[in-house]
Amino acid sequence: MGPQVDRFRDPGELAEILGDWMSGPGPMYRKLARALQRAVLDGSLDPGERLPSERSLATALVVSRATVVTAYDELRGLGIVDSRRGSGTRVVRQPGPSRPGADGRVPGGQATSIFQRLIDGPAEVISLRHAMEGAVPELGAELAALLTEDLPGLMADVGYYPNGLPALRAAAALHFTAAGLRTAPDQVLITTGVSQVLALAAQMYLRRRSVVVVESPGWPGCFDVFRAAGARLVGVPLDQDGIRVDGLAQAFAEHRPDLLYVMPTVHNPTGTLMSEGRRRRVAELAAEHRVPILEDNAYDIGDRDTPPPIAAYAPQSAEVLSADSLAKSVWGGLRTGWVRAPVGTIQRLARHKALADLGSPVLDQALAARLLPRLPEIAAARGAVLRQRLDHLTALLGERLPAWRFQKPAGGAALWIELPGCDARGFAQVALRHGVEVVPGAAMDPTGAHDNYLRLPYTFPSDVLTEVAARLAAAWAELTGP
């Protein structure tokens, strides 16, 4: 047997790793056994790792203890786990990949099961793990125009622009200036989405045991980028105006962080829009404590008036990186983003960018350069559709699930819902049995402060939202009924 390791940190975390394990044919115990076997073979569970007790895992999965007992029995028969009196049930070393992720599964982190859904593809369940939509019609029209009007000139060029295509840098600079933050093209770096901005900033600012102050709750995919760099995260709660100033000042004084990461316009998952006064105080505090700010505004589609980016309120001594993209407003498949910062900071980021990929794809950038000036009209149309869907979903929830508590978000694409007297991880397991996959709050706040919350996107057509509400209501009735 493999080396002894500590008990699995939390049965709820194992439930997240197992994902929608209830899909497929066969009795429930056998489906659970298959899911646990997959987790062992793909490296999500280490040799020697102690599995949760039958009772605690049954509670996390909202199944009978007999289901877990029988699943463990089956795994013992296959030689995948071993049980010893006083030592519990442990994973036995299995032949297969020696490194997590070597078989294509997403390794580690709070966002594991969220990203894995993108890799696994569609399932029988309605997955609400991502608030995504298809492309806007303007994208097709601009792509056709690009191929006929711009392609010959682009193909005659060398095609390498580590800082970004000049036309797109100029368009992004105008976009920031129109938003109230005067910007020159040399203050802009074009990236492959905002996710690359996070990765480049992590390379530039973070080392092992660095500290990053973040909003709590937050989006786990962003947090995992910082954790992968060896950083420790310090969460600060939010109120109706954004990240709390008192908590931020305390975090700065106690932890002397290397970076502050915030989502002011708008926050994911709560949908909070940081107020103008709060942006000013955040900028002043960061400058006072000499902490760089990375503000991520990619969750907003830009369909309404909002305050300028935090950088517009920053003292001259402050270092603020303002990131954005077309993912929410145009299409997630157009992996084009940008970051605005002081010229010296952009030059440092550009060196990391050149080492990473020598520059983002030129055709994608050229298409983005054509779309960016049209963003106000594109965002207005998409925003109108999203508001209709939001109204439809909130009406359904009021009718079918009146006990659920939430506030309408200022923007974004999802509701942040409080489930009264319920751990959302347990509800997520019951919802899976009813054909809906949701993201519980524990995935977005590991402190436990939001375990009774879940994130519910409203980016789906009305008929899908109607079906989602019906399935969630049935799951809630099963969980809370007699």
The per-residue DSSP string of 285-346 comes to: HHHHTT--EEEE-TT----S--PPPGGGG--TT--EEEEEESTTTT-TTS--EEEE--HHHH
Q: What is the mean pLDDT of the chain?
A: 90
Condensed to tens digits (0 to 9), the pLDDT of residues 428-471 reads: 999 999 999 999 999 899 788 999 999 999 999 999 999 999 99
Cα atoms in the 13 Å half-sphere on the side-chain side of 342 = 11
Closest CA to 307 of 269, 341, 265, 252: 265
Q: What are phi and psi of 391, to 5 degrees?
A: -60, -40
Provide the pLDDT confidence category of residue 103 given band limits of 50, 70 and 90.
very low
The predicted structure's pLDDT at residue 109 = 53
Q: Encoding tokens for residue 376?
A: 């106000």
Rounded distance between C-alpha atoms, residue 269 and residue 299, angstroms: 9
Confidence check: pLDDT of 104 > 50: no
Rounded distance between C-alpha atoms, residue 362 and residue 382, angstroms: 26
Confidence check: pLDDT of 337 > 70: yes
Provide the pLDDT confidence category of residue 9 given band limits of 50, 70 and 90.
low
Average pLDDT over residues 22-50: 88
Helix locations, 104-244, DSSP H:
112-120, 137-145, 151-155, 166-178, 193-205, 220-228
Amino acid at 158: V
The predicted structure's pLDDT at residue 67 = 93
The domain made up of 11-101 is a member of CATH 1.10.10.10: yes
Domain boundaries, the chain: 11-101, 159-373
Provide the pLDDT confidence category of residue 84 given band limits of 50, 70 and 90.
confident
Provide the pLDDT confidence category of residue 426 given band limits of 50, 70 and 90.
very high
Q: Judge contact between 366 and 373, C-beta under 8 A.
A: no
Residue in the block written with tokens 């923007």: 411
Confidence check: pLDDT of 371 > 90: yes
Average pLDDT over residues 83-112: 61
Closest CA to 248 of 209, 313, 307, 293: 293
Q: Which long-range contacts (CB under 8 A, 24 or more apart) does 152-156 make?
A: 154/362, 154/363, 154/366
**Which of 66-80, 90-104, 169-183 is least confident?**
90-104
Rounded distance between C-alpha atoms, residue 337 and residue 368, angstroms: 9
Closest CA to 388 of 470, 458, 327: 458
Rounded distance between C-alpha atoms, residue 424 and residue 437, angstroms: 12
Q: Judge contact between 333 and 137, C-beta under 8 A.
A: no
Q: Judge contact between 21 and 57, C-beta under 8 A.
A: no
- CATH class, range 159-373: alpha beta
Average pLDDT over residues 88-106: 59
